[in-house]
Amino acid sequence: MFLFILKRLILLVPVFFVVSVVVFLIIHLVPGNPIDNLMRAGSSSAQRVQIAAKYGLDRSLAEQYFVWMSRLVTGDLGTSIIQGRPVGALIAQNLPYSLQLGGAALLFSALTGITAGVVAASFHGTRLDDGISGLILLGSTVPSFWLGLLLILIFAVWLGWVPISGARGWTSLILPVIAAGVGGIALVARVTRIAMIETARQDFVMLLHAKGLSPLVIQLRHVLRHALVPVVTILALRIGWILGGTVTIEYVFARPGLGSLLIRALNQRDYPLVQACLLMLAMAVILGTLIGDIVQAAMDPRQRQARS
Amino acid sequence: MLLTVEKLEIAFGVFSPVDDVTFSIDRGEILGIVGESGSGKSLTATAIMGLLSRIGGQIVAGRICFDGAELVALPERQLRRYRGGRIALITQNPMTSLDAMMRVGPQIDQAARLHLGLDRCAARTRSLELMADLRIPDPALVYGLYPHQLSGGMKQRIVIAMALAGDPELLVADEPTTALDVTVQAQIIQILVELVKRRGLAMILITHDMGVVAQTCDRVAVMYCGRVIEQAQVNAIFEDARHPYTQALIRCIPRRTMTRGSMQPIPGMVPNVADQPIGCRYNPRCPRVADNCLTEIPGLRIDTGDHGVACHMADVA
Ligand SMILES: Nc1ncnc2c1ncn2[C@@H]1O[C@H](COP(=O)(O)OP(=O)(O)O)[C@@H](O)[C@H]1O
Ligand code: SF4
Ligand SMILES: [Mg+2]
């Protein structure tokens, strides 16, 4: 198991370089550049050249990549061209908001989704199952920004229970978490429900019933344990989403966050900032998958042995 | 009688894959149930365990009477006290019968803790004893292993230990060795029968191996297409089989005196549940078929010697 993790971690190094090249090329090959965003109307082309030279934009792509990467490996993410502040500081400022919202939303969708899935699967084929499955379907089709606006209208504007927007205090987190989490609930609940129903059909479950165990114990202690393996996989895939997946919610609730930072930087072609954000998001997704694999292997004794 | 099954009929929607099963078994007895695959043996076992609703089936007629209690009428909550505690099940495939994510020892403990009220520690001690009884080498080590770390034969011993853990009076063993390697089959049957005898348990041994029946069972019920068509003491079945199907089954047993090619399979096929012949269900394959065989289903008639047979022509020949 330890060797398995070590191998996967070492494998991350080449992956990191490949991803960095892709990220670098994507942003440099799309039309537009940061200089347009810095120039005031009527500036001379001499000024353009001067600015380009200042940020190294006049050099070849290969050189620029090399400069970026050599700084990156020393931990220097560079300086934002448009905002003029270190990229590291900008990210550090926005990251906590994203982690808060994304983490809480993921936790919320995991707990609610698993619960809904367990209840639906345990009452498989009854009206309760139909009801939950219907709600799940509904939840998965509602766009999160629309849900966010609806929640604001009801709970902030009409009822006045929570702040309309911003990121001050934990109450301001409630609505964004719900709006961002609902899509995840649907996904988690669906996977949990199907996995539990499939597991419940297996021979060993019949034998557990033959021992006289109560259905509740069988569902929670045995069937759910098996069903959680695929659930962990999809939850892990969403770890990357924590960092960048809540952009629309950040917009609707006027919250700071990595998503908003990235979108703004993209519009302004702020190369160093975009590169750092994208690279971080990509690595978060890859790490998430790795964590998922490790947790899955730790949960399932068959895999644990196969990977040791 | 410890268990009496009478005119049991099991339905899935409009189909009744089991529609006339009658047999009984006393304490200390081993009853063999034989019959080709699809004849309703497993469904009968599932019905005795009260687990038909789990697979979408239903008992629509008949009685299952265990130690004076009518199980068919019993609510689920009370049935659970019988399951594992008084009647235990051993299933066919040990590869899929254990929870792959749980160590095997605690899986044995479960029934003892539930039905005997033992705590974790006492249950473990009991499980280890059971494992030793089943001749599992180094029980303390095996106790902590996961199912995938055990061979098929070992897994089946664990399944047997699980069944015995709740101290049941009746074991229902549904083809307990069919999925195993031929070399360990005899060994597992031997261990199982020895334990059952030593503890004075009753066992229903479902099998399609007449050889096993001859060696281990006290009584036999022969099933065909969802019906018990003959039942008797083992020696009566082998010396005086009265149903043409039973006679054919016995002819199929490979004997040492026979050469390989001389084994006679029963001609014809088992009919589909949805497409049963009218009259006796064996009539398309029966060499003695008469007129009323094509119109009337023969019922099981039990004579004074406790030998029951369901065939119109049983007394004729
Ligand atoms: N879950 C089920 N749903 C519908 N029909 C079933 C089910 N299980 C068994 N049957 C039907 O009942 C018949 C007898 O099955 P079974 O008791 O498993 O036979 P055996 O154990 O003697 O091989 C099968 O041929 C099948 O058509
Ligand atoms: S009832 Fe008729 S068809 Fe059926 S087994 Fe007897 S002789 Fe054959
Ligand atoms: Mg069967």
Answer whether residue B253 shows pLDDT above 80: no
| Chain B residue with the nearest C-alpha to that of A207 | B97
pLDDT at A42: 66
pTM: 0.86
Answer whether residue B263 shows pLDDT above 60: no
Concatenated DSSP letters of chain B: --EEEEEEEEEETTEEEEEEEEEEE-TT-EEEEE--TTSSHHHHHHHHTT-GGGGT-EEEEEEEEETTEESTTS-HHHHHHHBTTTEEEE-S-HHHHS-TTS-HHHHHHHHHHHHS---HHHHHHHHHHHHHHTT-SSHHHHHT--GGGS-HHHHHHHHHHHHHHT--SEEEEESTTTTS-HHHHHHHHHHHHHHHHHHT-EEEEE-S-HHHHHHH-SEEEEEETTEEEEEEEHHHHHH---SHHHHHHHHHS--TTS-GGG--PPSS-PPPGGGPPSSSTTTTT-TT--GGGGT-PPPPEE-TTS-EE--TTTTT-
- Alpha-carbon gap, residue A123 to A183, rounded angstroms: 23
State the CB neighbour count (10 A cutoff) for residue B198: 9
What is the CA A43 to chain-centroid distance, rounded? Answer: 41
Name the residue among A203, A210, A222 with its Cβ closest to that of B83: A210
- Between A108-112, A255-259, B241-245, B271-275, the lowest mean confidence (pLDDT) is in B271-275
In CATH, which of 3.20.20.70, 3.40.50.300, 1.10.3720.10, 1.20.1250.20 is domain A96-307?
1.10.3720.10
Which residues from chain B sit within 8 angstroms of residue A225, using beta carbons?
101-102
Distance A10 CA to ligand 3 centre (A): 50
Distance B208 CA to ligand 3 centre (A): 9
Average of per-residue pLDDT across B152-181: 93
pLDDT at A172: 81
Is A284 within 8 Å of A240 (Cβ atoms)? Answer: yes
CA distance B217 to chain A (A): 24
Which residues from chain B sit within 8 angstroms of residue A212, using beta carbons?
80-85, 111, 114-115, 166
pLDDT at A78: 85
DSSP designation for A79: B
Answer whether residue B303 shows pLDDT above 90: no
pLDDT at B209: 85
* Max avg pLDDT among A86-100, A157-171, A200-214, B295-309: A200-214
pLDDT at B264: 57
Question: Which residues form the pocket of ligand 1, taking CB atoms under 6 Å from any ligand atom?
Answer: B 12, 17, 35, 37-43, 55-56, 273
pLDDT tens-digit map of B218-230: 999 999 999 999 9
**Cα angle B304-B287-B257, degrees, rounded to a multiple of 5:** 80
Average of per-residue pLDDT across B88-114: 94
pLDDT at A59: 83
State the CB neighbour count (10 A cutoff) for residue A153: 12
Answer whether residue B258 shows pLDDT above 80: no
Name the residue among A204, A301, A302 with its Cβ closest to that of B97: A204
- In the chain, the amino acid numbered A166 is G
pLDDT at A127: 92
pLDDT tens-digit map of A259-297: 888 888 888 888 889 889 888 888 888 888 888 888 888
B312 Cβ closer than 6 Å to some ligand 2 atom: yes
ipTM of the complex: 0.91
pLDDT tens-digit map of B120-138: 999 999 999 999 999 999 9
User: In chain A, where are the structural domains located?
Assistant: 96-307
SS3 A75: coil
Quick check: A212 and B81 CB within 8 A?
Answer: yes
Pairing of strands B58-66, B30-34: unpaired
Is A295 within 8 Å of A233 (Cβ atoms)? Answer: no
Answer whether residue B262 shows pLDDT above 50: no
pLDDT at B317: 54
pLDDT tens-digit map of B34-68: 998 889 999 999 999 999 998 999 999 999 999 99
Between A143 and A207, whose confidence is greater? A207
Between B99 and B256, whose confidence is greater? B99
Residue A171 in contact with partner chain B when CB distance is under 8 A? no
CB burial of residue B67 (10 Å; 0-12, 13-18, 19+): middle
User: Burial code of A227-266, b = ≥16 C-beta within 10 A, e = fewer?
Assistant: bbbebbebbbebbbbbbbbbbbbbebbebbbbbbbbbebb
Answer whether residue A165 shows pLDDT above 90: no
Residue A206 in contact with partner chain B when CB distance is under 8 A? yes
Quick check: B162 and A211 CB within 8 A?
Answer: yes
Instruction: Name residues with Cβ closer than 5 Å to ligand 3, which is an ion.
Output: B 42
Is B222 within 8 Å of B231 (Cβ atoms)? Answer: yes
| Mean pLDDT score of chain B | 90
pLDDT at B18: 94
- Between A137-146, B241-250, B300-309, the lowest mean confidence (pLDDT) is in A137-146
pLDDT at B261: 46
Answer whether residue B213 shows pLDDT above 50: yes
Main-chain phi, psi angles of B234, to 5 degrees: -55, -45
- Between A131-135, A192-196, A247-251, B191-195, the lowest mean confidence (pLDDT) is in A247-251
Is A222 within 8 Å of B102 (Cβ atoms)? Answer: yes
Is A118 within 8 Å of A192 (Cβ atoms)? Answer: yes
Average of per-residue pLDDT across B265-278: 76
Distance A114 CA to ligand 3 centre (A): 35
Answer whether residue B260 shows pLDDT above 60: no
Residue A299 in contact with partner chain B when CB distance is under 8 A? yes
DSSP designation for A271: H
pLDDT tens-digit map of A8-60: 889 888 999 999 999 888 888 888 777 777 776 666 778 778 878 877 888 88
pLDDT at A240: 78
pLDDT tens-digit map of A218-273: 999 999 999 999 999 889 888 877 777 777 888 888 888 888 888 888 888 888 89
- Alpha-carbon gap, residue B153 to B159, rounded angstroms: 10
| Chain B residue with the nearest C-alpha to that of A301 | B101
Q: At B174, list the tokens.
A: 């549904």
Q: At A66, list the tokens.
A: 């090399």
Q: What share of chain A is helix, strand, coil (3-state, %, to 5)?
A: 80, 0, 20
- In the chain, the amino acid numbered A53 is A
The structure tokens 């965003």 sit at A37
Model confidence at A61, in pLDDT bands (50, 70, 90)?
confident
Residues 59-88 on B with a CB inside 8 Å of A are 80-85, 88
pLDDT at A308: 61
Between B257 and B159, whose confidence is greater? B159
Residue A214 in contact with partner chain B when CB distance is under 8 A? yes
B114 Cβ closer than 6 Å to some ligand 2 atom: no
Is B263 within 8 Å of B218 (Cβ atoms)? Answer: no
Answer whether residue B244 shows pLDDT above 80: yes
Q: Which atom of ligand 1 is nearest to the CA of B45?
A: 17
Distance B51 CA to ligand 1 centre (A): 14
pLDDT at B255: 62
pLDDT at B276: 82
| Mean pLDDT score of chain A | 86
Average of per-residue pLDDT across B103-127: 95
- Alpha-carbon gap, residue B97 to A206, rounded angstroms: 8
Residue A202 in contact with partner chain B when CB distance is under 8 A? yes
